Chains A and B, each alone.
Chain A
Amino acid sequence: MATIHVDGKAYQTRDGENLLDACLSVGLNIPYFCWHPVLGSVGACRQCAVKVFKDAEDKRGMIVMSCMTPVKDGMLVSIDDPDARRFRAQIIEWLMLNHPHDCPVCDEGGECHLQDMTAMTGHDYRRTRFPKRTHRNQDLGPFINHEMNRCIQCYRCVRFYRDYAGGRDLDVFGVHDRVYFGRQADGALESEFSGNLVEVCPTGVFTDKTLKQHYTRKWDLQMAPSVCVHCGLGCNTTPGERYGTLRRIVNRYNPEVNRYFLCDRGRFGYEFVNSEHRLRRTLVDNEPVERSEAIRRVADMVKAGKRVIGIGSPRASLESNFALRQLVGPDRFYQGFGEDERRLMAKIVDILRNGPARTPSLADMEKADAVLVLGEDLTNSAPRMALALRQAVRNKPMKEIAAKVGIPEWSDAAARTAIQDAKGPLFIVAPTGGKLDDAAMATLRCAPNDAARVGFAVAHALNEKVPAVEGLGEEQRALVEAIAQALREAKRPLVVSGPSCNSEDVVEAAANVAWALCEQGKPCELSYVAHECNSIGLALLGGGALEEATAAIDAGQVEAVVILENDLRRRVGQDGRGGRSGHGGSGNDSIAFVLLDCLAGEEKRGVYLPAATFAEGDGILINNEGRAQRFVQVFTTDDDIQESWRWLVDVMVACGRSEAAAWRTHDDIVAAIAQSIDVFGPIPRTAPSADYRFAGQRIPREPHRYSGRTAMRAHVNVSEPKPPEDVDAPMTFTMEGAQTKPDAELTPFFWSPGWNSIQALNKFQEEIGGPLRGGSPGVRLIEPRENATVCFFDRIPPAFQTRAGEWLIVPTRHIFGSEELSVLSPAIAELKTRSHVGMRPEDAETLGLKEGDEVRVELAEDQVSLRLQIRPDLPRGCASMPQFLQHLAGLTLPQWAKIKGK
C-alpha cells in the first residue's frame, strides 16, 4: 500500500499502480482517452496530465501524464493545479480542431466519453478558424458503422482490435494529423470481437450499426441487467428497449465473467427478440385464443390423466425447466438434449462436481500460465473464452521478461515491446484449426480419438497412476512431452475441453490431465465448454434424453407432449427419426402438443404459448462455470408473452395443484427450486428479492433523463397509464426510484454524474478493473470435491485409422450460424457460415474437386448435397460438416461417409 496526497488530501492506493488508475480508484476525476482499464497505458493522448511535486518545498512542480506515472508512497500530486488544468483544456482544444461537432446527429451522443471529458476539462470556446481535415468512411460490414471524421486518434481501437483481440484487418494508416483508422479496403471486419470497438472508441467513430436501424439515445432506453443467451459462458449484458423493441446490447461488467468485452454473437444476436418469427399470441391449432382458454386446454389434458411428457431445453431458464418437470413429474421429464449430448453434459457435470479440479471463471482463466485445449475450436464454440486465453498466454512472458526489466503490466506498449512474440504455453489439440491457433505455442489437428489419446498420454506423463497410451507417433510423443512439461512447471495450469467433438473420450482425457496434477497436490483448473446458455443447469436438473422421449412416443405410451423452448428438428433431424411434425413427435395425430416458445414453429397444430425471451422475463441461467446468474426483465409487452415458467405455473394452478398456487413470483419459484433440489440451494442469492429496497425505493430501469413517456403512448391514450408493476424484481419500469448505486446484480446501466459513457463503470468498481461494489453477480453452484479420491478414466480409445474412400466427418461449429436464436438477427445472418462440407486440399484434388463444387455426402442414413470448402486445417482421413446449420440439423457426428463429386 502507498499513501498519496492529492490536492492536500491523503489516499491509500496500491503500490506500483499508475497514478491515473489510483486516482480513479479512489473516486477522483481525471480525464483520459488512450488509457483503458484493460488495455493499459501508452501515453499517447496526453489528456491525463497532473502535476507532481518533489517535496513540500517544490512549488513549481512538474506536469506528468498520470497514466504513465507509477504511484510512490508519499507522492504529492495536484489534479487541480492551474497549469495542469490549462494543459488538459488545451488537449481538448487540439482534439476538437478537426472534430465535426456533430453531436446532434452522432450515435454516440449522450454516452460519449469525448463529450464527458470535454465537459470535465471545461474547454468550451472554439478559437480555431482554420478548415477541418476530412476523411472518407468505410463500409465495415453489418455490425459496425464508421465515421472517421469524429476520430480523436487515441489509438484505442487498434490496440484493442489488434493487440488485445488478435485481429489483423483493422489498422492505422497514414501519418501526422491524417492518421486513419480502418481497413485497407471496405469490407466486413473479420474479428469476432469487433463489436467492442463500439465501447472502446471514446467517440462516435465506431458505432453499433444494428442500433442505427432503430436508433435511440442511451437516456431513452429502458434497461435491466441481463445475461447473454447465445452460448454457455453467460456473459453479462445490458439490453436496452424502447417502443417495445429491443434496440441494442452493451457489455455489463462482471469481474468474474466477461469483464469488459463481449463477442459479436452476444452483442448483435439480440434482434431475434424483435423478429417477425416471434410467437406473440396464444394459439390453438393456429387460431388465436384467450390466454385463459389456452391454459384451460392444457390443464384439461393434464387433469384428464393423459400420459403427458415434458421436453425441456438447454436454452430455457432453470425456472422454466423446473416448472415443466414439476408439471409432468420427474419421470416424464426429458432434457431436450439428444442422447449424445445428454450423456456428455451429465459426464461433465459429474466430473466437475465429484472430481478434485475446480471449474474456473473466465477471469480465472485469464490468469492461467499454461493451458491445454482439448477438442475445441473456442472462437466458435465459446468465443469470449478464446479472448480470455489470448490474454493468458501473456502471463508467463510478462513475468519472465517484462517484470524482470521493471516494466509494470499496465505499461502496455513497453511490455509488448519487451515481450515481442514470446508466448506462454497454450496448446490446442483439436480436429480443426481455429483463430486462436495463432496465439498457441503448438497445435495438433487430429481426429477426436487421437485428441483423446494425446490427453490420456499427457495425463500419464504427469502422473504414473494414469494408464499409458501405446502406439503414439513421433510427433504426438514430442507434443505430449512439451505439454506435460509446461503444465508441470505452471503455477496456474488449466485444461479446457468440451462437448464439441461429441466424444466422451475427449471429455474424460481432459479430466485425467487436470486430475493427474490435482492428485499430486497441484491445483489445476478444468473448464468445459457448454454450448447453450443453460446446458449446465439442465444437466444438473437431470432427466431423460430426447431419444427416450421419441421412443416413448413411438411406443404409444404418450398422449400429450409439452415442449419447452426447443426446436427438436435441430437435435433429432428434419425427418426420419424425429418425425415430420416438427415437434419431435411421431406424426401421430392423436398426440396433443403444447409448445412454449418465443419463436413460431412451422407446424401449427397444438397449443402454442408465447414464451418470453430474456428481454421480456425473469430467470436464472447456469453457465459453464456452474455460475447461476439472474437476468431481469427489460420490458413489458401488450402481447400474450410471459415466461414459460409462468405459463406452466398457470397450468398447474388451473389443474388445482396446491404447491403451484404459491408460486406467483420469481422469488417464489426460485425458493421452491432451492428447497427441492440440493444443488440449487444457493440460487436465491443470485439477486436481492423483489421486496428489497434501496434507500427505501426500487431501482428505476430508465435513466432519469428518459424522455417522452407521455407522448409515446399519446396515439393510444393521452392520459398516461399506471406503469406496470414488477413483482419479480425490486425494480420499476419507470425513471422514478432510488438514484443510489444498486447492488451489482441489479445495476440496470452504468451512469454517474459527469460520466455518461460506459466508462461510468469506474464509479461502480471498488478499484479499477476490480470487483463491483457489492460483489460479483452470480453464485457458483459447482465446487470441486475436497479430498476426492481420484478415479482416473482408463478407457483409452484406439488410434484413429483412415479408411480408403471414406472420411470421418467431424463436426464444426460456427459463431455465426450454429446458434439458433442469433441467426434470426439480420446482421448475424449476413455473416453466417453456409452449409458446406470441408475437405483437405489433397483429398479434394484426388476427387478432382475444387472449392465451391457441389458434392454428395453419403452418410449412414442420409445423403446430402453440399458445397465443398477446402480446409487445409483438417487432419488426414477426416472431412468436416457444420453442426446445427440449416439442412445439417440433427446429424450425429462424427460419422463415416463417402464423398462424391456430382
Chain B
Amino acid sequence: MLTETERREIEHEVQTLGHRRAACVEALKIVQAHRVWVDDEGLRDAAAAVGLTTAEMDNVATFYNGVFRRRIGRHAILVCESVSCFVCGCEKLFEHLKKRLAIDAGQTTADGRFTLVPICCLGCCDRGPAMVIGKDLHTDLTPEKVDLILERYS
C-alpha cells in the first residue's frame, strides 16, 4: 500500500505532466524518496498509480541507474569514476572508501549506514575527485577529507 503522502505526491505529478504514464519515473522517485529503495510492493503500487503493470514499471525502473531496486543503506555514496576524476586519482579514493567501509562496490555496510555506488561524471570535473551523498556534493576529495565527511552521516 502506498502511503497517503506517496499517493498524493504521485497524483500531483500525474496532474502536472498531463499524461499518466509519463509520471512513472517520478512515481518511482517518490517511492524511493520515502523508502530509500523501491521494493517489489512499492513497485507494484506505484505502477498501479500510474496505470502500468508491474512488468511495465520494472521495465522503466531497471533502466535508470537512479532507481534502486535492491535494498541500500541509509546513505548512498555516489563516487564519480569518470575520466576527469580518474585522471585526478578517484581510483585511490575508491579503494580507500572500500577499505574504510569494509565493503565492495554495490554493497552496504553491516550497520546499514552506507552503500557504495560508483557513478558516472557528476559534472564537476574541474574539482575532482567528487562524490555525492544524499543531496550533498563533495569535491576536491582526498582520503583524509573523505574520512571527515563520513562522520557527518549517521
Contact = CB atoms under 8 A, between A and B. Distances in A.
B54 interface: yes
Contacts of B63: 173-175
A185 B53 CA distance: 12
A173 B59 contact: yes
Nearest to B62: A173
Interface in A153-178: 168-175
| Tier of interface size on chain A | 10 to 19
A173 B58 contact: yes
B110 to A, nearest CB: 27
A172 B53 contact: no
Nearest to A169: B55
| Tier of interface size on chain B | 10 to 19
Contacts of A184: 43, 53-55, 57-58
Interface in A168-217: 168-175, 183-185
A170 B62 CA distance: 14
B56 interface: yes
A184 B62 CA distance: 11
Q: Which of A168, A172, A173 has the most CB of B within 10 A?
A: A173
Q: Which of A168, A170, A171, A172 has the most CB of B within 10 A?
A: A171
Nearest to B64: A175
A150 B58 CA distance: 22
B75 to A, nearest CB: 24
Interface of A: 168-175, 183-185
B62 A183 contact: no
28 contacts: A168-B53, A168-B55, A168-B56, A169-B53, A169-B55, A170-B55, A171-B55, A171-B56, A171-B58, A171-B59, A172-B59, A173-B58, A173-B59, A173-B62, A173-B63, A174-B62, A174-B63, A175-B62, A175-B63, A183-B55, A184-B43, A184-B53, A184-B54, A184-B55, A184-B57, A184-B58, A185-B40, A185-B54
Interface string B10-48: 000000000000000000000000000000100100000
Nearest to A174: B62
A199 B50 CA distance: 33
Contacts of A169: 53, 55
A247 B53 CA distance: 35
A487 to B, nearest CB: 30
Q: Which of B40, B54, B55, B56 has the most CB of A within 10 A?
A: B55
Contacts of B58: 171, 173, 184
Query: Which 5 A-B pairs rank lowest in CB-CB distance, beginning with the nearest?
Result: A171-B59, A171-B55, A173-B62, A168-B53, A184-B55
Contacts of B56: 168, 171
A175 B69 CA distance: 13
Contacts of A172: 59
Given A173-B59, A174-B63, A184-B57, 18 more contacts: A168-B53, A168-B55, A169-B55, A170-B55, A171-B56, A171-B58, A171-B59, A172-B59, A173-B58, A173-B62, A173-B63, A174-B62, A175-B62, A175-B63, A184-B53, A184-B54, A184-B58, A185-B40
B67 to A, nearest CB: 11
Nearest to A182: B55
A59 B94 CA distance: 51
A172 B60 CA distance: 9
B112 to A, nearest CB: 26
Nearest to A420: B19
A184 B47 CA distance: 12
A175 B60 CA distance: 10
A564 B59 CA distance: 52
